[in-house]
Amino acid sequence: MFCYQCEQTAHSKKNGIGCQTAQGVCGKDATTADLQDLMTYSVKGIAQYAKLARELGHTDNEADVFILYGLFTTLTNVNFNADRFVELIAEAKQIRDRLREAYEHAAVEQNVPIETPEGPAVWEPATVKAGLLLQVEHAAIDKDLDIVGEDIVGLRAMMLYGLKGVAAYCYHAHVLGYQNEEVFERIEKALDLLANEPTDAELLLGGCLEVGAINLKVMELLDAANTGQFGAQEAGAARTTAVKGKAILVSGHDMQDLYDLLEQTKDTGINIYTHGEMLPAHAYPKLKAYPHLIGNYGTAWQNQHMEFAAFPGAIIMTSNCLIEPQDSYKDRIFTAGPVGWPGVPHLEHGDFTLAIEGAKAAEGFTEDEEEKSVMVGFGRHTVLSVADKVVEAVKSGDISHFFVVGGCDGAAPGRNYYTELVEQTPDDTVVLTLGCGKYRFNDQDLGDIAGIPRLLDVGQCNDTYSAIQIALALAKEFDCGVNDLPLSYMVSWFEQKAVAVLLSLLSLGIKGIHLGPTLPGFITPNLLNILVETFDIKPNGVASEDLAKALAQQ
Ligand code: SF4
Ligand code: SF3
């Protein structure tokens, strides 16, 4: 195996950067890692034919959605079930071959020469796991490292990982009933480019920015899906302490799963708690209307061993980030959607019966804890509804600077940087936050400025879309560019959605982004030079010093 797609990736003196032994740092074994590479390879093959077929007017929605799902399953902390990948690779071959037939048929009909793409388009996967594992040399991200060098491999990786993030967000939007043909077309084109294994750095850099631009569209689509289905976010408090009674904890990003669960539990007396990236659910009117959506329990994904063990009910993982379930709760955790762990029951088709039974069998909370809460719901609708107040506060000097402190959380010790940073922000500054990185500081009371809270929780990591809309609206009000606003971006990355978000910010031309806690392994020293020269990317330093520099730049 060779994998360096997340921030946790191994660093070894002997082999450099990348997980490449029997097991990755995340717990993914070498077999699953290799099968995930083949899964990604298979998806590229589908995209090659989807692109050709689309050019001749033939589309295949099942294939478009499979591409999203297939990539999503390979994200960090999503699916650790090797057998599932054997099934998915077989399914991918069927879909690709169906598309090839449709394409060739259309070409004959339209009297155009038939193209015969290479690589993943013609790969014949073995039908059993052992055979597949012998084929992995086709698919490894570093397979031609010795020939093309680490910069090209790094650029391909950045583009691919960004696409994985795009696929995850796009799949969430699809599940909510929102999709877009132009987005499918651009995703497939980008995958086709990667399938051809380009060696031109300029082309790949352009490809990375295109992935960022696609991700902007996709985050917009997901925003439309979330607000279209559940209403615009509203500011309010989310309880963070337990209430007596049976309980289910929902983690991940999939709001449709949460909605289905709320419906299926509404007369059962079971309380539903959010975890991790599900916290923003408490801001959506149609979700918070369910009185048994009782609160949020716990913090970000890396604390789940302790938090899940202490939770006396059933637990559902709807997307990343899952880590190896411990014996103390293995019998009451369930996976859904693209998530999987060998031996953990998978909930199919939005049917949560097994988890409901699990919650009934578990003890539940035996008493009420003292009530505590955090504020949520400062998406673009909430913030822009008081835009005139915000603008006035900036003009009067009451607000001197804005920070977007957002992205992933993780286990690295350096992540205290974000707690320190937010704690040290001056009283006349406002912090917008999003993603699970917020748990480092979202329980802090930073007070308010002229009635505007100093700490605004914008939502999930995909709600970067909201933060961008807020920035664009402010730039319009002040008749300046986004880079001229007194606004700094402090992005914390862990997995591939954060790569997609970073590329989106770069595609908008946003400069001076602080990126941490450490730089991705696929950003080689040469790539870093390019990113610094072109986008003024700033690797994290010391929080107090970075803060002072950011404030000095306004
Ligand atoms: Fe290593 Fe991250 Fe890949 Fe897991 S996902 S194998 S921790 S780089
Ligand atoms: Fe967190 Fe996994 Fe990325 Fe959506 S839940 S931000 S790390």
Q: Is 350 helix (H, G, I), strand (E, B) or coil?
A: coil
Structural contact between residues 505 and 171, judged by C-beta atoms closer than 8 angstroms = no
Pocket test for ligand 1, best of 15, 25, 37 (most atoms within 8 A of CB): 25
- For residue 13, is pLDDT > 90? no
Residue 320 Cβ < 6 Å to ligand 2: yes
pLDDT band at 138 (very low <50, low <70, confident <90, very high): confident
pTM for the predicted model, two decimal places: 0.98
Nearest CA to ligand 1 atom 4: 26
Residue 164 Cβ < 6 Å to ligand 1: no
Give 372-399 pLDDT, tens digit per residue: 999 999 999 999 999 999 999 999 999 9
Q: What is the mean predicted confidence (pLDDT) over 233-244?
A: 98
Residue 454 Cβ < 6 Å to ligand 2: no
Percent of the chain with pLDDT over 70: 100
Structural contact between residues 486 and 429, judged by C-beta atoms closer than 8 angstroms = no
Percent of the chain with pLDDT over 90: 98
Q: What is residue 393's predicted lDDT score, i.e. its pLDDT?
A: 97
Among candidate residues 515, 548, 550, 508, the one with its CA nearest the CA of residue 532 = 515
Pocket test for ligand 1, best of 19, 74, 322 (most atoms within 8 A of CB): 19
Nearest CA to ligand 2 atom 2: 321
Residue 5 Cβ < 6 Å to ligand 1: yes
Nearest CA to ligand 1 atom 5: 76
Residue 55 annotated in ligand binding: no
Q: What is the mean predicted confidence (pLDDT) over 478-490?
A: 96
Q: What is residue 529's predicted lDDT score, i.e. its pLDDT?
A: 97
Contacts 24+ apart (CB under 8 A), 288-291: 288/234, 288/236, 290/262, 290/266
- For residue 466, is pLDDT > 80? yes
pLDDT band at 496 (very low <50, low <70, confident <90, very high): very high
Distance 164 CA to ligand 1 centre (A): 14
Nearest CA to ligand 1 atom 2: 6
Give 268-318 pLDDT, tens digit per residue: 999 999 999 999 999 999 999 999 999 999 999 999 999 999 999 999 999
Distance 274 CA to ligand 2 centre (A): 14
Q: What is the mean predicted confidence (pLDDT) over 233-241?
A: 98
Q: What would the 3-class secondary structure string for 466-516 be? A: HHHHHHHHHHHHCCCCHHHCCEEEEEECCCHHHHHHHHHHHHCCCCCCEEE
Element (H, E) at 549: helix 543-552
Q: What is residue 554's predicted lDDT score, i.e. its pLDDT?
A: 55
Give 57-107 pLDDT, tens digit per residue: 999 999 999 999 999 999 999 999 999 999 999 999 999 999 999 999 999
Strand-pair category, 11-12 with 16-17: antiparallel
Residue 253 annotated in ligand binding: yes
Mean pLDDT rounded to a whole number for the chain: 97
Strand-pair category, 538-539 with 346-347: unpaired
Residue 480 annotated in ligand binding: no
Residue 3 Cβ < 6 Å to ligand 1: yes
Q: What is residue 1's predicted lDDT score, i.e. its pLDDT?
A: 96
Q: What is residue 553's predicted lDDT score, i.e. its pLDDT?
A: 79
Q: How far apart are CA 319 and CA 229, in angstroms?
A: 19
Structural contact between residues 296 and 282, judged by C-beta atoms closer than 8 angstroms = yes
Residue 105 CA, chain-centre distance (Å), reads 38
- For residue 371, is pLDDT > 60? yes
- The residue type found at 467 is A
